[in-house]
Each structure stands twice: as structure tokens, then as C-alpha cells.
């Protein structure tokens, strides 16, 4: 393990909590020391849920380690059943309690409760949160899904929607969009799991004709098992972006044996038109760096390149279990994937790529802010502001509209900032002049502070040592458009360093421009 200031994923028991919190009628008893209850805040603070997760902690303390912590766990399981009366229960240990080797599975079986009790073996020092969510869902499906009865001939086909969880990036909104697409194809939704499902619902999974995997990180392993055990085919085409949504509709229609044309012909996405509009064409070729979980990172890179005309100069994920898929997508863009859960490595990769837009997690938003690059969040981990109260899906045709706004607005705001900076010293439009409809009289304002021509500023960037800039050169650099200013600074500093120039002047700036324009 590695100590770090930030982490992209929590330990696997956090993934198990995401499944338990998403479902109804399921309770999680977690053998954990006092202090591990911090996980509740992830749901009540970030997702703003109106109820705490359905989790009972043993919360043993240091003084309990000399006694029998196993008895503490058995007592917690009994009290949780008596209080909550769940349909089923999952039991396991946190990373700290794992070291005690109290065997939660055996202890729970010894209580002989009248409900299914599913033990979780989540190796906290080898695996992480997304794996924990996938393993928990897989164990629940194996334990609770009943063998399918012979499927009677029905007028309408049905499917299960698998993968949405608590604390998932826009899962609630994605589900609404996908349900709409499925309904318009004339297909019934049998069960949605784990979000909103009960253990009794999981027992009905085998009744569906096929499965739709919306988030492979969570549901692919369960879908593979359902295919082997119940003969249910599945699709894991993720409908993020116009092209992927159309491919998703065709894949689902093929599994159901229905005509996709009515849904495809009614495509209401505005992204294709917007991306070809006059307001958008100046964004063509913008350099973008994408990082996040595998599902959202791959989808964002495809949308950025194929549907918005951006140039993908960086692509990566912190989900090592899906490194193969991300590397394959990176090869399509002619780049090497960044597979890392170390935010410092990701920051160095972003600085080296010199993108004009970053699409990532909340981590990358902080990194981009330090580097002065526009950023949009497209993946967990996320902040409360990335869980909007309004409907804001990523999937489906409406999700494509949201993606267009998400990707383009940071660049549009950057252009506005550049225009404001460019006209700040204009005699007619500077900050001291009132609007023309108010007479244009200058505001009373203090005199600007004079800057000595020979003054030099020390600038540091994460990718280079400190370089001295003359004040005139700094002012000239600010005239460079917002989107390429970082690259201009980097190239100029590189030019100066290679020639051992002690100070970057205006002449150095223009010499560097001429050199790199050849």
C-alpha cells in the first residue's frame, strides 16, 4: 500500500457499501474499529441522501483487542437483524478488522438466522472500491437469483438493467434515460439492480430474456455468471454519446428481436448540429486529456474525438482491472495510456501533454486549476457539485446534449476570459469606462501601480524549474490566447533553458515563437 494525500478509490468494503446503500431490504454488518464509520459521510454528504447507509458497524476499540472481538461481531449481527428485519444480510470486515482474522462468515452462519446471510471476502490490501462493488453484486446474484422457470411466450420481451449503484456518477439520471430508450423499443424492464432492487428482486433476474450492462466495472462479472447459469445473453455497449447510443439501441434491439428504426429515426440529440455550428467550429482540434474510471474515460475520449472534433492527447484510468480496454482505446488515438492511481503521476502526464481541456475526476479538477487549464468532471470520484439536483444524465440522446455542454462550456468561458483580458487596457473598453448606454464616463478609480520595466517575475510550473521573466515579456505573454498560453510559456522556457538565457525578454518570446514555428 502507499500513503497518499488523495485517493481515487476507497478500500473494497466501500464498494460493498455502495451496493448495500443502493438496494432496499439488504443490510451490511461490517466488522470494523471505531473510526471506520467515516464512510457514511460519502453518501450523506456527497449524494445528499436523506438516510444513512444500511450498515451496522461493530466499532470495537483498542481496549477490546485483549478480549473476544468475535463475540462483539456476533452480537452486532444479532442486534442488526432484530432491529432492521432485512430480507438478506451481507457480512464482512474492513481493512483494519481483516487483520484480526475473526472469520465473519463462520460467525454469522453460527447464528443460524432465518434469512440469507452472504459472506464477503474482500482482500483490502490487494483490491479496491470498484472491485469490491463488483464482487459484492456478483456474490448477491449468485446467492439470491433463482433458477429460471421455463419462459412462456410473451408479446413483449424483457431485460434486466444491471450496474447502477449508490455514489455512482449520474447513475440515477442515466437510468431514467435508458429506461426511456428501452420502453420506446417496446421492451419491458424486468429488474433494475442493484439501484432500487430488493433481494426478492434479485431472485427474479432469471425471468428476463437478456441483460443490459450499463457499468461494466460493477456488473460485468454478474452478467457473465447469469449467462452461464441462466442462458441469458447480455450487451455491455455503454450508451454515452450519440454514436454509442445508436449502437446501444441496435444491440438491444438485436437481442430482443425488434426493429430499432423508430427510436433511431427519432434521435433528438442536438450535439451533432451544435458541433458543426459556427459557435463550435473554432473548438475543432482542441487538445484534450481524459482520465477517470474506464467506462467514462473511454466514452469521453470517443465523444471528444468523433463527435466534437477534439484531439485526444492523453487518456488514462485509475481502474487497473480495465487497463486492457483503456490501452486499446488509447492506441486508436495514437497515444500511450496512463494507468495509475497516483495523482502525482497523472499531474505530470497532464503537464507534459499540454492539453487545452481536461476531462477527469475531482482530482483532475484540482490539478487543472493549478496548471491554469479548463476542466470538466466526467467520472467519480466526485464532489457534491457533481451530484446535481436537476436531471443531468451522461447516457442516451439527452446525455449527449449534457456532454456537449460539459465539454464545451469550460472552453467558452476560457475564451471570454481571454477577451476580457485582451480589452482590459483598451481606451474605450477598459475596466474604468462605464457602459456606453450610461454615457461612457470613466469611473473614479485609484491610479494603477507602475511596474518597473526591468522587474522580473519568478515563475514555477510543475514540469520545469523556475525561470525568470521580464515584466514586459509577462505582459506580452498575456496577449497570447488563453487556450495556447500554457504551451507558449512552456516552449519559451524550454527555448531559454536550452540557450542558457538568464532572463526571458520580449525578444526571447518572439525568438522562441519563430523557432517553434519552423
Bind-site residues:
36, 414-415
pLDDT, tens digit (0-9, with 9 covering 90-100), for 337-362: 999 999 999 999 999 999 999 999 99
129-144 vs 216-230: helix axis angle to the nearest 10?
Answer: 20
Does pLDDT of 324 surpass 50?
yes
Bind-site residues for substrate:
414-415
pLDDT, tens digit (0-9, with 9 covering 90-100), for 437-463: 455 555 554 444 444 444 444 434 444
Does residue 11 have a cis peptide bond before it, meaning omega lies within 30 degrees of 0? Answer: no
* Mean pLDDT (the chain, rounded): 85
The pLDDT of residue 61 is: 60
CB 13 within 8 A of CB 93: yes
The pLDDT of residue 146 is: 87
174 has catalytic annotation? no
Which entry of 121, 174, 279, 426 is annotated as an active-site residue? 279
Closest CA to 225 of 192, 202, 199: 202
The pLDDT of residue 75 is: 87
The pLDDT of residue 281 is: 64
CB 36 within 8 A of CB 12: no
Does pLDDT of 278 surpass 60?
no
pLDDT, tens digit (0-9, with 9 covering 90-100), for 286-312: 999 999 999 999 999 999 999 999 999
Beta bridge partners of 211: 160, 234
Does residue 194 have a cis peptide bond before it, meaning omega lies within 30 degrees of 0? Answer: yes
pLDDT, tens digit (0-9, with 9 covering 90-100), for 486-504: 778 888 999 999 999 989 9
Predicted structure pTM score: 0.80
Bind-site residues for [4Fe-4S] cluster:
36
- Indicate the Cα dihedral angle 388, 389, 390, 394, nearest 10°: 40
Closest CA to 241 of 407, 363, 388, 385: 407
| Higher local confidence (pLDDT), 453 or 15 | 15
Does pLDDT of 465 surpass 90?
no
Question: Do the bridges between strand 287-292 and strand 357-360 make them parallel or antiparallel, or are there none, so unpaired?
Answer: parallel
Amino acid at each position: 500500500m502507499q500513503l497518499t494525500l488523495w485517493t481515487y478509490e476507497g478500500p473494497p468494503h466501500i464498494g460493498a457499501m455502495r451496493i448495500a446503500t443502493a438496494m432496499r431490504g439488504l443490510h451490511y454488518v461490517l466488522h470494523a474499529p471505531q473510526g471506520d464509520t467515516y464512510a457514511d459521510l460519502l453518501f450523506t454528504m456527497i449524494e445528499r441522501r436523506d438516510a444513512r447507509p444500511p450498515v451496522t458497524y461493530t466499532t470495537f476499540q483498542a481496549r477490546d483487542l485483549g478480549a473476544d472481538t468475535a463475540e462483539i461481531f456476533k452480537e452486532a449481527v444479532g442486534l442488526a437483524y432484530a432491529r432492521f428485519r432485512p430480507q438478506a444480510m451481507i457480512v464482512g470486515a474492513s481493512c483494519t478488522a481483516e487483520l484480526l482474522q475473526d472469520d465473519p462468515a463462520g460467525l454469522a452462519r453460527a447464528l443460524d438466522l432465518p434469512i440469507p446471510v452472504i459472506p464477503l471476502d474482500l482482500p483490502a490490501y490487494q483490491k479496491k472500491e470498484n472491485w469490491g462493488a463488483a464482487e459484492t453484486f456478483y456474490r448477491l446474484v449468485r446467492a439470491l437469483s433463482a433458477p429460471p422457470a421455463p419462459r412462456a411466450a410473451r408479446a413483449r420481451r424483457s431485460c434486466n438493467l444491471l450496474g447502477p449503484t449508490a455514489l455512482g456518477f449520474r447513475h440515477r439520471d442515466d437510468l431514467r434515460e435508458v429506461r426511456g430508450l428501452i420502453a420506446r423499443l417496446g421492451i419491458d424492464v424486468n429488474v433494475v439492480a442493484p439501484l432500487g432492487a430488493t433481494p426478492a428482486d434479485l431472485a427474479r433476474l432469471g425471468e428476463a430474456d437478456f441483460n443490459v450492462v450499463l457499468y461494466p466495472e460493477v456488473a460485468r462479472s454478474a452478467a457473465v455468471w447469469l449467462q452461464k447459469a441462466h442462458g441469458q445473453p447480455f450487451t455491455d455497449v455503454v450508451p454515452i454519446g450519440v454514436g454509442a447510443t445508436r449502437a446501444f439501441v441496435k444491440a438491444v434491439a438485436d437481442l430482443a428481436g425488434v426493429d430499432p428504426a423508430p427510436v433511431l429515426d427519432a434521435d433528438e440529440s442536438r450535439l451533432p448540429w451544435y458541433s458543426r455550428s459556427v459557435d463550435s467550429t473554432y473548438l475543432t482540434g482542441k487538445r484534450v486529456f481524459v482520465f477517470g474510471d474506464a467506462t467514462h474515460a473511454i466514452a469521453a475520449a470517443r465523444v471528444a474525438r468523433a463527435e466534437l472534433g477534439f484531439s485526444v492527447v492523453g487518456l488514462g484510468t485509475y481502474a487497473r482491472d480495465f487497463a486492457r480496454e483503456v490501452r486499446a482505446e488509447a492506441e486508436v488515438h495514437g497515444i500511450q495510456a496512463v494507468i495509475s492511481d497516483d495523482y502525482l503521476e497523472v499531474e505530470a502526464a497532464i503537464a507534459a501533454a499540454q492539453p487545452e481541456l481536461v476531462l477527469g475526476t475531482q482530482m483532475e479538477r484540482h490539478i487543472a486549476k493549478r496548471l491554469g487549464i479548463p476542466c470538466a468532471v466526467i467520472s467519480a470520484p466526485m464532489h457534491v457539485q457533481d451530484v446535481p439536483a436537476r436531471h443531468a444524465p451522461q447516457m442516451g440522446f439527452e446525455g449527449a446534449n449534457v456532454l456537449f455542454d460539459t465539454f464545451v462550456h469550460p472552453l467558452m468561458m476560457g475564451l471570454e476570459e481571454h477577451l476580457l483580458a485582451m480589452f482590459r487596457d483598451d481606451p474605450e473598453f477598459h475596466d474604468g469606462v462605464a457602459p456606453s448606454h450610461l454615457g461612457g464616463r470613466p469611473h473614479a478609480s485609484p491610479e494603477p501601480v507602475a511596474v518597473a520595466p526591468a522587474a522580473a517575475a519568478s515563475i514555477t510550473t510543475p514540469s520545469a524549474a523556475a525561470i525568470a521573466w521580464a515584466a514586459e515579456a509577462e505582459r506580452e505573454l498575456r496577449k497570447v490566447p488563453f487556450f495556447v498560453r500554457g504551451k507558449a510559456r512552456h516552449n519559451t522556457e524550454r527555448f531559454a533553458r536550452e540557450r542558457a538565457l538568464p532572463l526571458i525578454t520580449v525578444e526571447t518570446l518572439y525568438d522562441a515563437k519563430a523557432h517553434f514555428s519552423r
